[in-house]
Structure 1
Amino acid sequence: MKGALSLPFLRLYGLTLLYFSANAILNVIIPLKGESLGATNTTIGIVMGAYLFTTMLFRPWAGLLIQKYGPIPVLRTILAINGLALLIYTFTGLEGYFVARVLQGVCTAFFSMALQLGIIDALPDKDRSQGISMYSLCASIPSIIGPLLALGIWQSEETYIFTAAMITIALLTGVVGYSAKIDRSASPPVNDGQTKQGAAMLQSFGQLVKNPYLFRCSLLMLTASLVFGAVTTFIPLYAAQIQNGNAAIYLMLQAGTVVVARFVLRKKIPSDGKWHSAFIMTLMLLLVIAAQSVSFSITGGAVFFYAGAILMGAAQALLYPTLTTFLTFVLPQQSRNVLVGLFIAMADLGVSLGGVIMGPIADLTSYSFMYTVCAILSVAMLFFAYERRSASVETKPSSKRE
């Protein structure tokens, strides 16, 4: 196998799978733990949201440091910190979980940026979308069996099982991570102009508004991620209200759809630097129907509940790699890493807001109404996805690979 499926990249995908295994379990355990302790949806949302909110804050700096020092040295450092965070979960309560989520957020900022930027720099243009899609696929695979394992751990009421799981994941991730390698031969050398970006880091946030490509992709991803975050945070609690509803089955169906769609359709994801309006609008429409199906399931039952899971998974599988690949073509080469970091930060912020903002809405109304709000927000994004003429990398010479 060559390109995105060569042995070095398969090792990186395996590392990704291991790294996100812990979070697949924690995404179910933390809401259940919070509810058992009498915490409100707002509190649960804050604890869950702390993870990716922290990730969002650190992503731009992660992109800069990785560009300067390389992905492997950064990767090895944060894997040690991640191991510490997983250990904190084994002997603390909800307050300690918040601290651990923050530490995990820092680690994930550097981990995902190191692997994604390493993959982008090491692969030729034609394989770039496949590499990003495979990374995203492996980040999603743990969510297939993670919820089921989490429910088994929770129902067993044996704390040593949870402790053993966290320690095992931490050790395996460290061993595989320290043996990983990324060829940076395709990446441009770091010059004085690039290293000075640190002093102007705050100025780069202005590109979220000034750069039309970054603005559009970030807004779409922010809204979609808010819906994904609301699902991750509250489905373990909402499922109990659905007749024949099961949170583990829902999350496994959604994650399974993500995995299958990203693998089967990985070559269909546009990798030409053009804006494909019809394709992106279709993905946003899937998100609208998915969110409303989940909302209606309180009346319609488990059929709508699980149908929403499949549609949600399909939208999640394709939207992120599509937008990320497009940006790698149209963003200026000299600031691409930092700006891609900002885009991914918007995805993180959306997931965080899915818990922080939607938690109070669920407290004041209901889970069903909260998911209807998610559907309405997604409808608004259909207008932002539309473009009369295709934006193309060919019209932006500065975005071509050197």
Structure 2
Amino acid sequence: MRGALSWPFLRLYLLVLLYFSANSILNVIIPLKGESLGASNTTIGIIMGAYLFTTMFFRPWAGQMIQKHGPIKVLRVILLLNGFALILYTFTGLGGYFFARMLQGVSTAFFSMALQIGIIDALPEEDRSQGISLYSLFSYVPGIIGPLLALGIWQAGDMNYFTVVMIAIAVFTGMVGYSAKMDKNTEQPVTSNADQGVNMIQSFSQLVKNPFLFKCSVLMLTSSMVFGATTVFIPLYAMQLESGNAGIYLMLMAGTVVFSRFTLRKRIPSDGKWHSSFIMGTMLILALAAQCVSITITGGPIFFYVGAVLMGIAQALIYPTLTTYLTFVLPKANRNVLLGLFIASADLGVSLGGVMMGPLVDLFSYSFMYMICAFLGVAMIIFGYERRKIFVG
């Protein structure tokens, strides 16, 4: 196998799978644990949102540090922090969970940037979209089994199983991570350290000044709010349904992401052009997914599971499409830092999905909150339209 499917890259994807396995379990355990302790949806949303809210702030710095020290050195250090965060979950309560989520957020900022920048730098341009898509694919593979495993642990009523699983994930992730290698693609131009030393404040201003980055960031932020609301509140929403299982929903969603990312990876545009119809169609799928979940309370479980499949398709397409597009249109001198800002918008969106949607649930209902998510998707259909196809290069 060559390119994005060669053995060195497959080993990186295995590392991604192990790293994100913990989250597939924690995304179910933490809301259920919070509710059992009497926490409100707002509190649960804040605890869950602390993870990616922290990640958002550290992403740009991570991009700059990786440019300076290289992805492998950064990766090996950050895996130690991740291991400590996972072990912290095993002996603390909600307060400790909040702190552990923040530590995990710092770790994820550096981990994901190191992996993605390493993949982008090591692959030729024509293989970038496949590499990014496969990275995203393997980050979702744990979501197929993780939620069911988490529900099994919770229903067993013995959190010792949870402790064993968290420690095992921390150890195996560290072992695979320390043996990983990433070689820079020699065909890519090398930029000087002076060019890479971009002022961070100036980089933040590019979120507004750079039209490509602004458009992609708004789309990613809004989409991620819907994804975040799904991840945080589906385990609790399913408990109100007569026939709806959160584990099956999350498994279907993750399975669809994995299947779609693999089968559609060559369909994702990798030419530096803005494909309006592709973007608008993906946002339509997102809006329909949220609306299906919203009407489940009256329409029945068929809408619940159809919504899971549609949500999975939307997740499979949105992130790699926008990320690949930005690798072409952003200036090379500070591309890594600006990509960090873009990915930070995804983190912020997922975090806001818990923090902002939690109060809506407390004031109204889960159904109403997911209807608002559907409206956000419709708004992004309009925002994604672009009359001219933009090409750089």
TM-score (norm 2): 0.99
Aligned to 1:253: 252
1:257-293 deviation digits (Å, cap 9, x = unpaired): 0000000010110000000000110000000000000
The separation in 1 between residues aligned to 2:189 and 2:242, in whole angstroms, is: 56
Shift of 1:101: 0.2
* 1:36 corresponding residue in structure 2: 36
CA contact (8 A) 1:68 1:190 kept: no
Q: How does 1:1-400 map to 2 (within 5 A)?
A: 1-186=1-186, 188-189=189-190, 191-197=192-198, 200-394=199-393
Q: Secondary structure at the match of 2:197?
A: helix
Amino acid at match of 2:226: V
CA positional deviation for 1:190: 5.1
Q: Which residue type is aligned with residue 2 of structure 1?
A: R
Q: Deviations over 1:150-204 (max 9, x none)?
A: 000011111210000000000000000000000024454452423532xx21221
Task: Please give the secondary structure, in 1, of the residue aligned with 2:295.
Answer: helix
Mapped to 2, the partners of 1:2 and 1:209 lie a distance apart of 38
CA separation in 2, counterparts of 1:340 and 1:88? 30
Letter in 2 for 1:253: L
Give CA-to-partner distance per residue, 1:359-402, whole Å, 9 cap, x none: 001100000000001111111111111011111113xxxxxxxx
Structure 2 distance, partners of 1:365, 1:345, is 29
Instruction: Say whether the 8 Å CA contact 1:67–1:190 is kept in structure 2.
Output: no
Could you tell me whether the CA contact under 8 Å between 2:219 and 2:380 is conserved in 1? yes
Distance 1:258 1:333 in 2: 30
Distance 1:106 1:306 in 2: 33
* Alignment size in residue pairs: 392
The 2-side partners of 1:219 and 1:386 are apart by 13
TM-score computed with the length of structure 1 as normaliser = 0.96
Equivalent position SS for 1:205: helix
Distance of 1:328 and 1:64 partners within structure 2:
16
Distance 2:242 2:202 in 1: 51
SS in 2 for 1:244: coil
Q: Secondary structure at the match of 1:393?
A: coil
- Indicate conservation of the 8 Å contact 2:87/2:166, yes or no: yes
Alpha-carbon separation, structure 2, partners of 1:40 and 1:15: 35
- 1:65-88 deviation per Cα after TM superposition (whole angstroms, max 9, x unaligned): 001100000000000000000010
Once the two structures are TM-superposed, the CA of residue 233 in structure 1 deviates from its matched residue by 0.2
CA deviation map 1:28-80 (0-9, x unaligned) = 00000000000000000000000000000000000000011000000000000
SS at match of 2:194: helix
Partner of 1:245, secondary structure, is coil
Kindly provide the CA deviation profile for residues 131-152 of structure 1, in whole angstroms up to 9, marking residues without a partner as x: 0000000000000100000000
Identity %: 71
Matches of 1:17 and 1:188, distance apart in 2: 31
- What is the RMSD of the two structures over their aligned residues, measured on CA atoms? 0.8
Q: Distance in 2 between matches of 1:317 and 1:364?
A: 32
1:78-127 CA-to-partner distances (Å, cap 9, x unmatched) read 00000000010000000000000000000000000000000000000100
1:195, 1:179 → 2: CA distance?
28
